[in-house]
A and B are shown apart, each in its own frame.
Chain A
């Protein structure tokens, strides 16, 4: 995984729940390519089609609260969201995102100082820059970073079982 990258911001608010990220009607569609088209539909129906690979989501507190629905982070991973920066994340979403190789970064300050369409630059385990300002970010614990580095928990387990393709 690259240690630094930059991307365009899509900006969301507090308490973005998994029913908003992926409504229940769509979770049993057979492929993730179909599921991902419905991301954020109740809140912003146009968003899934507008998201480009490498884009970054910036949100407020408690991103991913609600159900254990893993289709939520998996769909964001499938949309090739580069990372999500939020003031805080709900716990099941946090684990699910990591297990799908989706990078999450906590920042209390950035979400209040950026707009949709701004460009943010990320240096993992160090800091982020946006609109000429620098924001510190926490280090990612080793066991979690290893899963992201492996490309998600499936690949981690394949490595463990010596069947990595």
Chain B
């Protein structure tokens, strides 16, 4: 009997000869990361537990991305506690303001194919795009791993999602993510491994895979996994032959298989106030929008800024629109400047912020007032998350967001000439 990608990585990590869904295994993470929202909690819990040293300073990473630049005076304490942890107990690297943690972990090669990675954030599923078993945990559990180097995991059952063919123009990986979430619903993947395959997926660059893996958690999944490709191994700077064991087995047991034809995909919208409230854009086209946000660990990458620049080039945003753009990392920001995307977007009327969690974190930069409507490329539209509980948030791809910024109403990118 074959194994799912999740089972293969867990067997590789733990050394057990076989495992099946429901088994509890003790993993030894290849690395862990905690970010500035939780530095204070992790620091305090770690000391309270009676530990004096992290289990392996080489495997501990700390990132400041949610609270930087600070928006409240107390926020700075969280950076202080991050640096204090690194100095007193040991951490490989502290990143301050280099970008959103879920972009940096794969971009800087911390999360790699076949790894087991835990991070104090739900969108840790992102690194499944580079074939890492990576998932979110809380600060108390992080403190325990930092002391022991161990973490128990229940082996998940798996859902295979197969997509074949070529996506139509103006449709991108975010639309695939929304379509799958709309079909599986908010709890349809709870505790499970979502495993993506098919010719569309095989040909998909890492940047686009990251968007899909990022949103796997929105149906409750533990991980959202892709098999390594030559391209993804180049991205992660590993030798493909060293990770080729991590391939799909024809005889692996999946509790469900969803199959899609890429040609059937259209632009989708997740309507307020649930991510699984997914509708084809055509049903909502023409709805008035007040603000547009392009950014986040879901869609703040170079290809996303390129798509927005292509659509907004030569246009100006509608008079009643505010367009906020946040690149996902410093490196992406620099490339977008070098390639001229930033200039085109600023000329079109965009406001740029430094790479950080930005509006998606709901604490700073563009919070929504009562009755305002936002179209964002981020991953969550929950009640009150991005400002007033009386505001509304809709989610889309960067192409739909850019087209909507031009007209001020939900717009299909194909209609902006």
Residues of A within 8 A of B (CB): 15, 17, 19-20, 23-25, 27-30, 42-43, 61-62, 65-70, 73, 88, 90-92, 95-96, 99-100, 141, 143, 152-154, 156-158, 160-163
Contacts and interface: CB of A to CB of B under 8 A. Distances in A.
Contacts of A69: 37, 138
Nearest to A163: B50
A28 B382 contact: no
B166 interface: no
Given A19-B384, A42-B384, A65-B220, A28 B74 contact: yes
Interface string B382-402: 111100010000000000000
B222 A91 contact: yes
A61 B361 CA distance: 25
19 contacts: A17-B382, A19-B362, A20-B382, A23-B362, A24-B363, A24-B385, A30-B74, A43-B383, A66-B380, A68-B121, A69-B138, A92-B122, A99-B140, A141-B24, A154-B49, A154-B143, A157-B50, A158-B50, A161-B147
Interface of B: 24, 37-38, 40-41, 45, 48-51, 67, 72, 74-75, 78, 120-122, 124, 136-141, 143-144, 147-148, 152, 186-187, 190-191, 220, 222, 274, 361-363, 380, 382-385, 389
Interface residues of chain B: helix, strand, loop or mixed (majority): loop
A158 B361 CA distance: 33
A143 B75 contact: no
Contacts of A161: 49-51, 147
Contact of A20 (B141, B220, B383): B383
A162 to B, nearest CB: 8
A70 B187 contact: no
Contacts of A28: 37, 40, 67, 72, 74-75, 78
Given A24-B363, A88-B190, A143 B382 contact: no
Given A67-B122, A68-B120, A91-B220, A157 B136 contact: no
A129 B385 CA distance: 36
A10 to B, nearest CB: 18
A3 B399 CA distance: 56
Contact of B138 (A42, A62, A96, A163): A96
Given A25-B363, A154-B49, A19 B383 contact: yes
Given A24-B362, A42-B389, A66 B140 contact: no
